[in-house]
Amino acid sequence: MSQGCEATSSTRAVLAQLEVPDDAHLPAGQRQKLKLELLHKELSVSPADIFLNEAYQSVSLAGMEVNRPALIAL
């Protein structure tokens, strides 16, 4: 199945959820884990969704390059 240039409505909903400010009471690692769990769940339904894959990579890297080799290996 090919994907157009725009995200589906379900993907947009997930991406919007990722934009909601994090709960500052949770440790950073826990906040990242929750985001990754959400993305993993959605990717299990739509594994070829480029927008979800990009978001997963972005959250996995968390703005740092330290996890890059492990992420590429996936």
Domain boundaries, the chain: 28-74
The overall average pLDDT reported for the chain is: 84
- Lowest mean pLDDT of 10-19, 42-51, 54-63, name the range: 54-63
- Angle, CA of 59, 2 and 16, to the nearest 5°: 35
Structure confidence by residue, pLDDT tens digits, 19-48? 888 888 888 888 889 999 999 999 999 999
The tokens for 3 are 């994907």
Which DSSP state fits 42?
Answer: H
Residue 52 has pLDDT above 90, yes or no: yes
Rg (CA), the chain: 13
Residue 54 CA to residue 43 CA, distance in Å, equals: 11
pTM of the model: 0.74
pLDDT at position 21, please? 82
